Every structure is written in C-alpha cells, then in structure tokens.
Amino acid sequence: MTKKERLKIYENFFHQINLHCIMMNSEKIGEAVSLINDWSYAHRVGNGQPSEYEQKKMVEKKIERMGKFT
C-alpha cells in the first residue's frame, strides 16, 4: 500500500466520520472509534516481536478496514 493510497483512505474515513456526526449516528461513530483504536494498537502490539514486515501488514489490515467503513 502506497502512502498516497493510505492518505486517500484516511481522507475518505474522516469524511465518513463527519457525515455520521452530522447525522448523529452514534452507532457508526462508535464503530469508527473502535477502528481507530484497532489501528493504533496495531502500531504497538507485540513489543517489537513481530518483524517490521509483519507489523506493516497488521497496520495495513486495519487501514483496509477503514477503507471499507461507510
């Protein structure tokens, strides 16, 4: 996944969060916060035990989930 692809996913994800805030859809806002928590955890899980490649794949998996958030 390129930086440009990640940026596009993040931008779309943030726009979706904003729309759910406007519509006061607390269920979807909670889902978004959960995705953000999972993404953050993927960056620090394993205390350095996974390889750099494995860590990158864990993070990319969470980013892909953000991309599917609607």
> Per residue in 16-33, pLDDT tens?
999 999 999 999 999 999
Q: What is the per-residue pLDDT for 44?
A: 86
The pTM for the full model equals 0.85
Measured between alpha carbons, how far is 62 from 56 in angstroms, rounded to an integer? 10
> Per residue in 35-62, pLDDT tens?
999 999 998 887 778 888 998 999 999 9
Angle between helices 26-44 and 3-22 (to 10 degrees): 150
